Amino acid sequence: MADHDPNAAPERFLTVSLDLRGVSCTARLLTDRAPRTCAAVWDALPLGGDVYHAKYARNEIYTLVPTFAAEEPPLENPTVTPIPGDLCYFTFTDTQLGTASYGYGGAAAHRDRATVVDLALFYERNNLLINGDAGWVPGIVWGTVVDGLDRMADACQDLWRAGAVGETLSFRRA
């Protein structure tokens, strides 16, 4: 039996949902690898909004939310090759998302905000965080799905094929 550190912080879990489709998965926060990001997200929960399916990174769904941390977390536990089940955190400015190629239309600054947070779920393999306009886009891996990834991946594929209009992606404490 493994020793338990009585001073270790308790594990934290959250529910990630595609609300209209009624599909959820459970994720564990990676507080040991991305402590500042995890603390910022945990303190701000619940979070969510319109869901988007990635154009460039492949097997990713995400939502854009207003910044919520008193200070943006540093690039802790970074990746440019997320794996299935990774939850990633990105920060973008309106100028980074302002070109028509992103498809946000008049909401490029996302309701006139200068900066937005992108909370993403990667549901399948072969993702590469490179953008033709900007180059490499490293993300912070702050959580990992521990239950329900198969159901969520099926729903994400349906989102890709059937469309995202009217669907929301939400993050809540489990």
pLDDT band, very low/low/confident/very high, at 60 (cuts 50, 70, 90): very high
Question: Token match 């995202």: residue?
Answer: 164
**Please, what's the largest Cα pairwise distance for the chain?**
57
* DSSP 8-state symbol, 90: E
Topology annotation, domain 13-173? Cyclophilin (2.40.100)
pLDDT digits (tens, 9 = 90+) for 80-92: 999 999 999 999 8
Amino acid at 61: I
10: CB partners within 8 A, 6+ apart: none
Averaged confidence pLDDT in the chain: 90
pLDDT band at 57 (very low <50, low <70, confident <90, very high): confident
The model's pTM is: 0.90
